Homo-oligomer: A and B are copies of this chain.
């Protein structure tokens, strides 16, 4: 079977590496000649809306998927006329617009922070009254890793935030003073089969995910998260892996955002779950039975931001696994991740203290 992937970053790279053992072949479309997935699979270099290249990919592939959610709607349309495309374009459209996303959450009974649309400066005061401060002003589209958002603590913050972000459609969201952040990774196959991974606890710095830990022990929260994920998957007639990020506050899950693709907070599944998120995404879009999602031991995933730690220092630690993405170092760029796995949570905690400084975090960061 031939799988086309639009987008050639580390997610595409890890999808291909997970797919080869299933006997799959890959082609990747990316505008960058040095897209890191191109090191492990044939790269079609071209713009995401280049109809000729999209048609070539569609003609070759049995199924096409994405490694990012901001695929131009036109690209998804060109592809969908010719080949099976998962996740469905409708799910991409929802995920591309924070208002559509939060509106859908609300319709499905999934709690969200209060929110209001802000299309022009004049609408901002009304939104502040509706949402209440503190709040976060965000672009409706194309935000990621904390980009395209500003925290509004007082009315004095409004004008600078507007200067930074205004001119495109915005959303004002209530700021949630959360106790922790968690995510749910759920998969739905083209046959309708659904599976969910154990709950993941996430730690961000400056809007960028730095650390994920799983399984997170919280049976009630996990049950809720799985329930919410299933509502979303079924409503969207979703096929593939979907991630939902939640805030935890007073024993409640409050949905922050969803990602219609394999997700950074699921990288621990490569070693820490019976079947990785990458393999399960491929199984889902190919209509194969989903693999077991149970955790194998306890895992922590650490993102390598900017540059990679010395491999020898990491690999000398029992249970440590190294994932370089083949990307050049650059400040703020995700260039790899480490996973530490142990059968015993106490052993994991001990190893984690030693590993944290390797990725620029303090030994007592979590």
Q: Which residues of A contact B (CB under 8 A)?
A: 13, 17, 20-23, 25, 39-40, 274-275, 283, 288-289, 291-292, 296-297, 308, 311-312, 315-316, 318-319, 321-324, 326, 336, 341
Given contacts A17-B17, A40-B40, whether A22 and B322 have CB atoms under 8 Å apart is: yes
Q: Which of B283, B316, B321 contacts A315 (CB 8 A)?
A: B283
Among the interface residues A23, A40, A283, A323, which one has the most CB atoms of the partner chain B within 10 A?
Answer: A23
Q: Which of B297, B311, B322 contacts A296 (CB 8 A)?
A: B297
Tell me the smallest distance from the CB of A205 to a CB of chain B, in Å: 24
Q: Which of B21, B39, B316 contacts A323 (CB 8 A)?
A: B21
Q: Please tell me if the beta carbons of A322 and B40 are within 8 angstroms of each other in the complex.
A: no
Cα separation A324 to B286 with both chains bound (whole Å): 16
Cα separation A149 to B294 with both chains bound (whole Å): 46
Cα separation A321 to B296 with both chains bound (whole Å): 14
Q: Please tell me if the beta carbons of A316 and B289 are within 8 angstroms of each other in the complex.
A: yes
Cα separation A315 to B288 with both chains bound (whole Å): 7
Name the CB-closest residue of B to A297.
B296
Cα separation A296 to B299 with both chains bound (whole Å): 14
Q: Which of B289, B292, B319, B321 contacts A21 (CB 8 A)?
A: B321
- Please give, as numbers and ranges, the residues of chain B lying within 8 Å of A21 by CB-CB distance: 17, 321-324
Cα separation A297 to B25 with both chains bound (whole Å): 30
Cα separation A150 to B233 with both chains bound (whole Å): 60
- Please give, as numbers and ranges, the residues of chain B lying within 8 Å of A289 by CB-CB distance: 312, 315-316
- Please give, as numbers and ranges, the residues of chain B lying within 8 Å of A39 by CB-CB distance: 20, 25
Cα separation A123 to B324 with both chains bound (whole Å): 57
Cα separation A324 to B22 with both chains bound (whole Å): 6
Name the CB-closest residue of B to A289.
B316
Name the CB-closest residue of B to A325.
B23
Q: Please tell me if the beta carbons of B40 and A318 are within 8 angstroms of each other in the complex.
A: no
Q: Please tell me if the beta carbons of B319 and A274 are within 8 angstroms of each other in the complex.
A: yes
Tell me the smallest distance from the CB of A307 to a CB of chain B, in Å: 12
Q: Please tell me if the beta carbons of B311 and A23 are within 8 angstroms of each other in the complex.
A: yes
Q: Please tell me if the beta carbons of B17 and A20 are within 8 angstroms of each other in the complex.
A: yes
Cα separation A274 to B343 with both chains bound (whole Å): 11
Q: A20-B39, A288-B311 are in contact. List 8 more A-B contacts (CB 8 A).
A: A13-B20, A20-B326, A21-B323, A25-B39, A275-B321, A283-B315, A292-B319, A296-B296
Q: Please tell me if the beta carbons of B274 and A318 are within 8 angstroms of each other in the complex.
A: yes
Given contacts A17-B17, A40-B40, A318-B274, whether A23 and B292 have CB atoms under 8 Å apart is: no
Closest 9 CB pairs of A and B: A23-B324, A289-B316, A21-B323, A292-B318, A289-B315, A288-B315, A20-B40, A288-B312, A22-B322
Among the interface residues A25, A289, A296, which one has the most CB atoms of the partner chain B within 10 A?
Answer: A289
- Please give, as numbers and ranges, the residues of chain B lying within 8 Å of A25 by CB-CB distance: 39, 326
- Please give, as numbers and ranges, the residues of chain B lying within 8 Å of A13 by CB-CB distance: 20
- Please give, as numbers and ranges, the residues of chain B lying within 8 Å of A23 by CB-CB distance: 308, 311, 322, 324, 326, 336
- Please give, as numbers and ranges, the residues of chain B lying within 8 Å of A341 by CB-CB distance: 274
- Please give, as numbers and ranges, the residues of chain B lying within 8 Å of A296 by CB-CB distance: 296-297
Tell me the smallest distance from the CB of A291 to a CB of chain B, in Å: 6
- Please give, as numbers and ranges, the residues of chain B lying within 8 Å of A308 by CB-CB distance: 23
Q: Please tell me if the beta carbons of B297 and A22 are within 8 angstroms of each other in the complex.
A: no
Cα separation A296 to B283 with both chains bound (whole Å): 24
- Please give, as numbers and ranges, the residues of chain B lying within 8 Å of A326 by CB-CB distance: 20, 23, 25
Cα separation A323 to B312 with both chains bound (whole Å): 29
Given contacts A23-B308, A25-B39, whether A315 and B291 have CB atoms under 8 Å apart is: yes
